[in-house]
Amino acid sequence: MRLPVRTASLTLLILALTNLPAPAQNAAVNPPTKVNQKDGLTYVWIPPGHFTMGCSPDDSECNADEKPPREATIAKGFWLGQTLVTQAAYQKVAGKNPSTFKGDRLPVETVNWDDATAYCEAVGGRLPTETEWEYAARGGTTGVRYGNLNDIAWYAANSGNRTHEAAQKAPNGFGLYDMLGNLWEWLADTREEGKYRPLRGGSWGSTPRDVRVSFRYREEVHGHYNAFGIRCAQD
């Protein structure tokens, strides 16, 4: 529902005076996109904003590391891959395809954190942070997920125990596909004295409890499984 003009103007004025970016809208109509010429993938512009990170309201399945929910700000916008990195893109850039489930439009998997980092750097980008990822995954929403689970995600109950081609499920409010399900996504942050790196989003083999925007998973840097994939960010 749109705010009345006077109320919206007052909200923006207050935000401007407090030096905070405006909150993200619940849906992005024709969000700005660009094609990365190095791998041929489309990237979506994620605008600055602020959101509540961590355990969603009325979510009874949150772990201790999702609590307490806290306010977070994305001060600068960034570009984020509209889809997971595909096998065709990875083959073009890295010259190899480590995936278990083969197919050009399937997302690349069986990559470790070093592989993911190297790929993103090779195409002029980087891995997103956990804060950036959760902000982008929520797409302006505040719930456990950005839509009905079966409509937005490939997970244990509907995946047939395998990955699926990019952009087959409904996108979120920022126009991003498979932010939940299909593959866990490596992120840039360090956890537990550098031994582990975080992954987010759940995969084709995940239960519904894991396929939530606030759920946090971690793996050793050299861990590589056919449930781990890549989505790159650019400044």
User: How confident is residue 21, by pLDDT bands cut at 50, 70 and 90?
Assistant: very low
In this prediction, residue 30 carries a pLDDT of: 79
Does the pLDDT of residue 205 top 50, yes or no? yes
Q: How far apart are CA 128 and CA 80, in angstroms?
A: 8
How many residues are given for the chain?
Answer: 235
Instruction: Return the number of other C-beta atoms located less than 10 Å from residue 14's C-beta.
Output: 10
CA nearest 199: which of 127, 147, 151?
127
Overall average pLDDT of the 141-165 stretch: 98
pLDDT digits (tens, 9 = 90+) for 124-151: 999 999 999 999 999 999 999 999 999 9
Is this prediction's pTM over 0.85? yes
- pLDDT given for residue 28 in this prediction: 54
CATH topology assigned to domain 26-234: paralog of FGE (formylglycine-generating enzyme) (3.90.1580)
Segment 169-190, tens digit of pLDDT: 999 999 999 999 999 999 999 8
The burial of 88, by beta-carbon neighbours within 10 Å (0-12 exposed, 13-18 middle, 19 or more buried), is given as middle
- The domains of the chain are located at 26-234
- Residue-wise pLDDT for 37-83, tens only, equals 999 999 999 999 999 999 999 999 999 999 999 999 999 999 999 99
